[in-house]
A = this chain, B = another copy of it.
Amino acid sequence: MDEMPGKVYLVGAGPGAPDLLTLRATEILKRADVVFHDALVHPRTLELAARAEKIAVGKRSGRHSTAQKFINKRLVDAARDHKIVVRLKGGDPTLFGRAQEEIDALRAAGIDFEIVPGVTAATAASAELGVSLTRRGFARHVVFVTPRAANGERENDWVASVLAADTAVIYMGAGLADAIGAELIKRGKPKDTPLALVESATLPERRVLRGTLADLPELARKTGAGPAVVLLGEVLKAAFAKPAATEEIEALLKRA
């Protein structure tokens, strides 16, 4: 019996494609004893954790607090039995990953932890579009936001934040496009603001849709069940007419 508690690594799995994992995350997964992973993590990423028990946790969206509390508890328990515990999250753990709730639980239990950053969906989507989110003398600030219908939580106004920023990337619940578009237009965002919707960025099934803010509800109806981000702002005007040729590089790497 090992009396020394283990350590929990909150690891970013990146935006989707398994080769957008970092080298550090790869090495930690190879050494992991247990991996608690989001439903959306790529199977090839999980295969890296060859010696680990792999446990799917968390729903795709709309997780309840009770479920999160259960995950927190399982992380603490696992660190008491294992040396290397991984909590593998889509994207980057510190952006919309509910990491803070897990960190608070680990700290309260005296469990050591470390965060391994990852590539977040916003920049994966901009890469897919072949466009920079910032542009010198033109776009110096970019906001990442999850909008929510008013629900009594104490939080600042996401619309004001989108309106103030040069570029906005909305990490959205799939069903909210109508409300998001209507609210932004009502509050003064021009209807013709260039917009792109990227679903399942970096995966073979990805879909890239371009238009303006006024088109958002229509574009959203064309997407499927994959995770999607909406990118909004003048920089999107430069979005390449054809999707970045990610297939080409995938083929190249396979041949190697």
Residues of A within 8 A of B (CB): 7, 9, 12, 14-15, 17-24, 26-28, 30-31, 92-101, 103-104, 107, 112-120, 123-124, 126-128, 130-148, 153-158, 160-166, 235, 238, 240, 244-246, 248-249, 252-253, 256
Contacts and interface: CB of A to CB of B under 8 A. Distances in A.
Contacts of A119: 12, 22, 92, 117-119
B137 A100 contact: no
Given A164-B156, A252-B31, A114 B246 contact: yes
Contact of A143 (B23, B94, B141, B244): B141
A228 to B, nearest CB: 17
B166 A156 contact: yes
| Chain A facing B: main interface SS | mixed
B117 A124 contact: yes
A27 B256 contact: yes
Contacts of A124: 117
A51 to B, nearest CB: 12
